[in-house]
Chain A
Amino acid sequence: MPEIIEGVSPTRMELLRLSRREKLAEKGHDLLREKRDALIAELLDVVSEVRNARKEMEDKLKEAFAFLIFAQARSGVEQVRQLSLMTSQEIELEFSSRSIMGVRVPSLKLETELARKVTERGYGFIDSSAAVDRSARSFEEAVEKIIKLAELEEAVRNLAREVEKIKRRVNALEYIMIPRLKTTRKYIRMRLEEMERENFTRLKRIKAMLEKRER
């Protein structure tokens, strides 16, 4: 049995106020529940996108590492290590945010494409090979996929946090606030009825006393 709200005076005004609060709480509860359900649906969509993006990233990395091993086998471990020094690049990212059902999620935008042409990477043609090119390209594409995945995973984290928050609010309304309001309202109504009965009895007794005195 939920507790009643402390310090409430059992008056009709309070009863009306509580009724309004209860209606509001129920309306809020319904809205929050709807928002929670919608957010969960969104979350599931994004989770599915994350799953696809992760798979794509893993496939790309697997491909890149396979080409890397091939390049090492063809050109030598040391040669490929040296060439890899040339392929490093600064990644410029534009950070912004977008809204999914009122939840701010990050948006990462690459300022420039990471996949470069063979001549833009910096290593020479003589000491490298088609396998080195292929490996470098696959890694560049993999980094793009990692960035996309990071964006989606952060969106999932934010959405999940929001769903959790809303779930707590819905539960608080459903299991604490609304029952308490109901109990308190019930208590006030009972208290008012009791007071009414007391008054009625009191009035009846006064009336009886007055009639007795008149006689």
Chain B
Amino acid sequence: MNSGYQLPELGGWPGYLTAPDTIYKVDIHKYIIKRGEIEAMSVSKYAYVYARIRARMSELMDERRIRELVDARRGDFLSLLMDTAYKDKLTQAALVEVKARKIEKALKEELIDQYLMVIKSMEGAIRDVFVEFLRRLEVKNLKAVIRAKAAEIAGTETPETALFFPVEDFFKRRISRLSEANSIESVIEQLENPYRGVLEEALSKYEESKRVLILENALDEEIYGAIWNRIERLRGKDKEIVRKIIGTEYDLTNLMTLLRCKSEGIAEAEISEYLLPDTHTFYFNADAMNDSMFAKDVSTAIQLMPASVYKEVLSETLSSYEAEQSLIPFENALLQYFFVVIKDILRGYPINIGTAIGFLYLKEIEIGNLCTIAVCKENEIPAEETMEIVRT
């Protein structure tokens, strides 16, 4: 190990990733000591994780495979899907026809399996980051319960309970049982921290307007803040990579929130309430963004943004927005940009957290694509229109 470590060839990368031509020949220990890149985990452990993830990565579908699924007839779609890495989960779901909701459930389970695989392979501060990532799904479960309670759907009448992300065994918290509570207050009472504290704090504000948005915001701020705190505990290149990916995700979320609010004429002070505080490229509540926050419409908000890659992406899409009078082109462009960021991370040196995080994001995007195709098949949307929605 000390005298030179040859990493395996990177030929097995999915077709849509530009596989590096070079075979890395580096002295890992020297690399670690000099650059301080992956101190959080031992090299051998990272190499092991990397190998496992690479094996899973080779199963990711390339553009050609996605195209095949999109072009397949409704009847053939399921059999083609059974011929993928999702076969086991789909078999368990006992699907006989294309049912988007059932497919979605099966694929969600597969995503959680991938998260668990990564978490089990990691240790220390890096593992904590992935645990917080997974906790996002628990927060989604909790939001589902709160939404059902707000809509006054009784526990026994919540047929979608089975669709909750199955993360309860991992976190040892039975969120689904809260569906039986009588009210939102009762749900909060039965919760543990960190959820209980943040929701209790937001409850009085919720009572005034009865908008679940307030509770959802409180939960989002908690989880996204927790992820950010975990990132801050990382060191070196790992921290840089995760900050870039997550920070970009936060930036894009904030940008879309800003544009969605601007398109509906929501006041600047109110917009600030819905923005995530931790960001990567620019702080949204800072002076630099002031002009955009106070802009009279979406187009002006973009023009007044501080110079950044986001501004470039949004400016390029401005004409589509003006033609369609819809924010969807912006959303598509930003998602596509995020996809590029992930691919860029994966193009770099592979023995670091970037491989795992990039893989999970690609997996999530792939599952998202498959769900998109399933919905389109169910609704008989033409292949060309479906291709416009999927991300490849």
Contacts and interface: CB of A to CB of B under 8 A. Distances in A.
Given A74-B372, A129-B331, A134-B328, A119 B261 contact: yes
Given A125-B257, A130-B260, A130-B327, A73 B151 contact: no
Interface in A60-74: 69-70, 72-74
Given A85-B151, A123-B216, A131 B274 contact: no
Contacts of B389: 70, 73-74
Nearest to A137: B264
B374 to A, nearest CB: 8
A130 B331 contact: yes
A82 interface: yes
Contact of B100 (A72, A74, A122, A133): A72
Given A85-B153, A120-B211, A122-B212, A73 B274 contact: no
B265 A117 contact: yes
A126 interface: yes
B307 interface: no
A86 to B, nearest CB: 6
Contact of B213 (A73, A124, A129, A133): A124
A164 B256 CA distance: 57
A36 B357 CA distance: 76
A77 interface: yes
A88 interface: yes
B266 interface: yes
Given A78-B163, A125-B256, A73 B217 contact: no
A76 interface: yes
B148 to A, nearest CB: 7
Given A76-B371, A86-B150, A134-B328, A125 B212 contact: no
B211 A119 contact: yes
A69 B151 contact: no
B366 to A, nearest CB: 14
Contact of A117 (B101, B150, B266, B326): B266
A32 interface: no
Contact of A122 (B211, B260, B328): B211
A134 B331 CA distance: 12
Given A118-B261, A122-B211, A127 B104 contact: no
A165 to B, nearest CB: 46
Could you tell me the dominant secondary structure of chain B's interface residues? helix
A123 B220 CA distance: 12
Contacts of A85: 147-148, 150-151, 153
A213 interface: no
Contact of A88 (B143, B148, B151, B216): B151
Interface in B213-272: 213, 216-217, 220, 253, 256-257, 259-261, 264-266, 270
A88 B331 CA distance: 25
Interface stretch (B61-69, B177-185, B279-287, B375-383): B375-383
Contact of A126 (B253, B368, B379): B253
A127 B140 contact: yes
A6 to B, nearest CB: 68
A120 B264 CA distance: 11
Contacts of B130: none
A81 interface: yes
Nearest to A125: B257
B118 interface: no
B46 interface: no
A134 B256 CA distance: 14
A124 B330 contact: no
A35 B40 CA distance: 91
A127 B265 CA distance: 21
Contacts of B326: 130, 134
A78 B143 CA distance: 12
Interface string B32-71: 0000000000000000000000000000000000000000
Contact of B212 (A124, A131, A134): A124
B21 interface: no
Nearest to A126: B220
Interface string A121-165: 111111101110110000000000000000000000000000000
B147 A86 contact: yes
Interface string A73-110: 11011100111011010000000000000000000000
Given A70-B328, A76-B371, A130-B326, A124 B151 contact: no
Contacts of A131: 328, 331
A72 B378 CA distance: 11
7 contacts: A69-B375, A78-B104, A85-B148, A86-B147, A118-B266, A125-B253, A130-B259
Interface of A: 69-70, 72-74, 76-78, 81-83, 85-86, 88, 117-127, 129-131, 133-134
Interface of B: 100-101, 104-105, 140, 143-144, 147-148, 150-151, 153, 160, 163, 210-213, 216-217, 220, 253, 256-257, 259-261, 264-266, 270, 274, 326-328, 330-331, 368, 371-372, 375-376, 379, 381, 386, 389
The 3 closest A-B pairs by CB, nearest first: A124-B216, A130-B327, A85-B151
Given A117-B264, A125-B256, 4 more contacts: A119-B211, A119-B264, A129-B256, A133-B327
